[in-house]
């Protein structure tokens, strides 16, 4: 409950580039953040104590980190605006519908574009790209570009050397 109060007030102060300020609050509530990771003022994080961010990673304003289970974001990775990363679901085959909290792992050098959805238990390999508004419900191989609903591999990621 205290985290919700902090997130709704001091975390959201509209200070330009106040990434250190937000890292301070996230770390205070148990997030494991390496180096100079950045989190936008309007990013929503459910449970900071279940979040791990690598150095130079970035979660854009408006993104939602619904981490009922652990979420790990690798170094130099970006979650763009309005993306929704969801590490929680229910077992609908059980009449009591128990809560499940499968982890999400996002590798190094990954870009999750605007408005994408990443579902529970998904692993996104290093240097992959998830296209805008894609719905990812299965693992994404390293170095691939995926897009669509459901997300499918559209090509290998080409990088300039």
- For the chain, what are the domain ranges? 2-156
Task: Determine whether domain 2-156 maps to CATH 2.20.70.10.
Answer: no
Q: Residue 78: count other Cβ atoms within 10 Å of its Cβ.
A: 20
Beta carbons within 8 Å of 38's beta carbon, 6+ residues apart: 19, 22, 57, 58, 59
Tokens of 109: 């050098």
Active site residues: 90
Beta carbons within 8 Å of 44's beta carbon, 6+ residues apart: 7, 63, 64, 65, 66
pTM for this model (two decimals): 0.93
How would you write the pLDDT of the chain (161 residues) with one tens digit per residue? 899 999 888 888 888 788 999 999 999 999 999 999 999 999 999 999 999 999 999 999 999 999 999 999 999 999 999 999 999 999 999 999 999 999 999 999 999 999 999 999 999 999 999 999 999 999 999 999 999 999 999 999 988 87
Give the pLDDT of residue 118.
Answer: 98
Element housing 79 (H / E): strand 78-79
Give the pLDDT of residue 87.
Answer: 98
Give the pLDDT of residue 84.
Answer: 98
Give the pLDDT of residue 55.
Answer: 97
């Amino acid at each position: 409950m205290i985290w919700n109060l902090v997130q709704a007030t001091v975390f959201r102060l509209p200070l330009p580039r106040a990434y250190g300020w937000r890292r301070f609050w996230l770390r205070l509530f148990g997030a494991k953040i390496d180096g100079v990771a950045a989190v936008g003022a309007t990013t929503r994080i459910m449970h900071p104590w279940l979040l791990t961010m690598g150095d130079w990673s970035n979660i854009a304003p408006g993104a939602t980190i619904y981490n009922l289970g652990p979420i790990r974001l690798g170094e130099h990775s970006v979650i763009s605006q309005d993306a929704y990363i969801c590490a929680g679901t229910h077992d609908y085959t059980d009449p009591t519908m128990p809560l499940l909290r499968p982890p999400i792992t996002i590798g190094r050098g990954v870009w999750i574009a605007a408005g994408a959805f990443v579902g529970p238990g998904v692993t996104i390999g290093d240097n992959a790209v998830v296209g805008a508004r894609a719905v990812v419900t299965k693992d994404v191989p390293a170095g691939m570009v995926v897009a669509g609903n459901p997300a499918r591999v559209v090509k290998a990621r080409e990088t300039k050397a």
